[in-house]
Amino acid sequence: MKHVRIHLVVNGEDYSLFITPNRVLLDVLREDLELTGTKEGCGLGKCGACTVLLDGRPVHACLTLALQADGCQITTIEGIGEKEVHPLQEAFIDKGAIQCGFCTPGMINTAKALLDANANPSEDEIKQAIAGNLCRCTGYNKIVDAIHSCGCQSEKEKGEVR
């Protein structure tokens, strides 16, 4: 199969890669760029463990062809709280929303997209946003509480979530 060149901006860094057209974004991130924070759960887009932000929108990296991301901005968990702990990460820790941690990268990326679009979502809006992310450990209440606590910050602090 012939290789094609793609250009990605991942966590603010430019990458130019030669890939086969059938490669999914998850494999490019994990294997080529060695960004292993994004997890493969089901490989079918059903669990949300592989969720990354593509131009600010949550997508399943296991279903997204790397070619579809050509020229796009991609944010993985490594790009959130890169220099210091992000408020969402802090909230997940403070609220006990992390147990095994496998779903956490996808949950945090999904939550970030929600909070970027709606700085103060309701509990129902949070539940709807994370409906595509499965967690077998926490039972979701602590995850919803963590996301809600970020949305309930003062006006000054809301800017930090983005």
Q: For residue 137, is pLDDT > 90?
A: no
Q: Write out the residue limits of the CATH 1.10.150.120 domain(s) in the chain.
A: 87-161
pTM attached to this predicted model? 0.91
- Residue 30: CA count within 13 A, CB half-sphere: 15
What is the CATH T-level fold of the domain 87-161, as seen in this structure?
DNA polymerase; domain 1 (1.10.150)
Q: 4-79 belongs to which CATH class?
A: alpha beta
* Paired tokens of 81: 């709280």
Residue ranges of the chain assigned to CATH 3.10.20.30: 4-79
Condensed to tens digits (0 to 9), the pLDDT of residues 32-72 reads 999 999 999 999 999 999 999 999 999 999 999 999 999 99
- What pLDDT band is residue 158 in, cutting at 50, 70 and 90? very low
- CA 138, CA 56: separation in Å to the nearest integer? 26
Q: Which residue has the tokens 């593509």?
A: 54
Gap between the Cα atoms of 86 and 32, Å rounded: 26
* Euclidean distance between CA atoms 62 and 44, whole angstroms: 7
Q: Which of 87, 93, 105 is nearest to 47 (CA)?
A: 105
For residue 154, is pLDDT > 80? no
